[in-house]
Chains A and B, each alone.
Chain A
């Protein structure tokens, strides 16, 4: 068997047989699912809390406008003073008091209205009250203008501007963000993978140094072979772990949603109260369909191909830096000063991605960072769901980005291999950057 494959096999087995690795592999999805369920459950409990609001209405304009629901119920107070009402609300343990004063016009009444609570008012309740006031005001204005509710409903024009590219493809609002979000998902995956498994590579190098087996091994194989085998073996273990996580978390989520009867969509939508959305519903369905169509139109094959290219190159660049760091130090505590400069471009890529690429996927910042090799694996992937060529990422940018990435890959791996080769045989020294630089010339 070829030496490289022997090393890869050993590194893989050493990793997947490691007890803490096995435990993390099977525990993480359970923890993750437990967390999601907990959040969903807590949200549900939070929503289920029923509030009682007292209303002291002195005006003539409001009568039965406030309708209770599961979350809020209303109690009318009559013929008492505001002070007395406040006292009794506190005494009865109600959650708030809505005071509507007596005045001549609807406008003046609404402006004079006050909502009293013991402490900061719950947003949802305030929102609900505001909606009711708004609706009542609208009715009032309509009445003044002599328009019936039926007429109003008829003229309620729900308008969305249709947008299209010059080539005639229709655009959907927010689809750019959605696409960047999908790309961002891929980018985020790359970052997580690099940080987790790059760290594994580093620790594995340190382990070989501290156990003093390194020289035994490199008298049989080239240091570069060992480094490469280690990186590949560890990443295969990582891919195995990721695959187990994704599959098992998916299955567990489905099972638990079924068991606990949680509606998955409730997790995504923050505001669940949507009054007066009735007539708009069909158009939402239609939009959803368009979104779905648009999502199908995302060039998935292209996207996944480039994901793999950027993932492999990006991961190799970073993990060889991790390997070099592991070789340079004697123990993990000495790695801190070297780790930060690696994590920084990764974090930068994620933040630039989420702030800049979302708002303008082809702006100068987005372009710059998608060309810069240490950030391009993440940033370019966020831009790519928009397609390649017209309307998407220009081909020259993509090509330049990949060429730069490959050149950097070769350069960094070469440098890292040099540091690695010298570092693995150095004991008892805490190296400085200056020293690492010197090693390059050995």
Chain B
């Protein structure tokens, strides 16, 4: 079994509203998986189904090859989008309680908490109440509580919202370390750019349906439009632009006469850029030549538009 989690045609309805429509996903082990889509697309509902907070009307969920059962809860760590802690409870006590609810013994939970508290340099917070801590501090505790029981699968819903940049980086590093140690991770977010660099796999959810999924690099390859960004230095930019325009499709261009600089974006019929490069090298100095790879949100918009008709 190479997938930590598989969903098969999972459907969930709330009254008249269909929150999930036959969503099938395969989340590979030891990967970072991005569950992407706008607000209200159904991501949180799917995550709640994985966490057995709600149950699907139809379809099945498999965890590590087995049909999802109550015991699997102990192997999943979940940081919900709507997250918080008991305000008037002491940090240590609270963390112990939540760890025990996940099935850890008190002694084991204490040992691991000590470890994490020292690692994130918050050892002296043990006897403080949450209401005495800042929001960022509370988020650290929240993170520890999520990962403490060393789950096989970690699910982060909008993980970096509410974190200041410094803490967000600390947490990001910790998540990457966890991944190195063999944990599978799901990121769910509507801010696609925030997790793009982290994810190996993604699924795009739009209006209750999965519209695209797969390995991010494959998707990007498939969605490449053979668009290249070129920066040239030449004595006669306008002439060159004219000549280029006759041979290639130019999307945008900018001329800086003082610097003899010509910047342009052009699209090739195939991914083969050799002809263009050869031509350019005879005409001008090439400052840069970059293939533009579409961002996840661009891919998302493109996919939604291409499927537009069926969803309206």
List residues of chain A with CB under 8 Å of any chain B CB: 1, 3, 6-7, 10, 14, 18, 207-208, 211-223, 425, 427, 438, 441-442
Contact = CB atoms under 8 A, between A and B. Distances in A.
A221 B101 contact: yes
Contacts of B86: 14, 207-208, 211, 213
20 contacts: A1-B100, A1-B106, A6-B97, A211-B85, A213-B84, A213-B85, A213-B86, A214-B82, A215-B78, A216-B78, A216-B142, A219-B73, A219-B76, A219-B80, A220-B73, A220-B98, A220-B102, A222-B70, A425-B53, A442-B15
A6 B15 contact: no
B311 interface: no
A411 to B, nearest CB: 21
Contacts of A220: 73, 98, 101-102
Interface of B: 14-15, 48, 51, 53-54, 70, 73, 76, 78-80, 82-89, 97-98, 100-102, 106, 142, 145
Contacts of A214: 82
Given A14-B89, A438-B15, A216 B84 contact: yes
Contacts of B101: 3, 6-7, 217, 220-221
Given A425-B48, A438-B15, A215 B100 contact: no
Nearest 5 pairs of A and B residues by beta carbon: A212-B84, A215-B80, A220-B101, A219-B78, A211-B84
A217 B98 contact: yes
A214 B79 CA distance: 12
Given A6-B97, A6-B100, A10-B97, A216 B14 contact: no
B196 to A, nearest CB: 26
Contact of A442 (B14, B83, B100): B14
Nearest to B47: A219
A215 B15 contact: no
A212 B98 contact: no
Contacts of A18: 88
Contacts of B106: 1
B83 A216 contact: yes
B215 to A, nearest CB: 28
B190 to A, nearest CB: 17
B78 A212 contact: no
A233 to B, nearest CB: 12
Q: Which of A219, A222, A438 has the most CB of B within 10 A?
A: A219
Q: Which of B79, B101, B142 has the most CB of A within 10 A?
A: B101
Q: Which of A14, A216, A218 has the most CB of B within 10 A?
A: A216
Given A1-B100, A215-B82, 8 more contacts: A6-B100, A14-B88, A207-B86, A211-B84, A211-B87, A212-B83, A215-B53, A219-B53
Nearest to B101: A220
A207 B130 CA distance: 14
Contacts of A223: 53
Given A6-B101, A14-B89, A220-B98, A427 B82 contact: yes
Given A1-B100, A6-B97, A212-B84, A219 B51 contact: yes
A213 B89 CA distance: 12
A425 B82 CA distance: 9
Nearest to B142: A216
A216 B48 CA distance: 11
Contacts of A219: 51, 53, 73, 76, 78, 80
Given A10-B97, A211-B84, A211-B87, A218 B53 contact: yes
B119 to A, nearest CB: 21
B191 to A, nearest CB: 20
A216 B98 contact: yes
Contacts of B80: 212, 215-216, 219
Nearest to A9: B97
Contacts of B73: 219-220
A14 B94 CA distance: 11
A7 B101 CA distance: 8
Contacts of A213: 83-86
A360 B51 CA distance: 56
A231 B73 CA distance: 24
Contacts of B48: 425
B82 A212 contact: yes
Contacts of B82: 212, 214-215, 427
Q: Which of A3, A218, A223 has the most CB of B within 10 A?
A: A218
Contacts of A442: 14-15, 54
B13 to A, nearest CB: 8
Contact of B145 (A10, A216, A427): A216
B82 to A, nearest CB: 5
A211 B106 CA distance: 24
A425 to B, nearest CB: 7
B98 A441 contact: no
A225 to B, nearest CB: 10
Nearest to A17: B88
Contacts of A7: 101
Contacts of A441: 15
Nearest to A1: B100
A208 B86 CA distance: 7
A142 to B, nearest CB: 78
Contacts of B87: 207, 211
A427 to B, nearest CB: 7
A441 B106 CA distance: 39
Nearest to B14: A442
A337 B89 CA distance: 31
A4 B101 CA distance: 9
Q: Which of A10, A18, A217, A427 has the most CB of B within 10 A?
A: A10
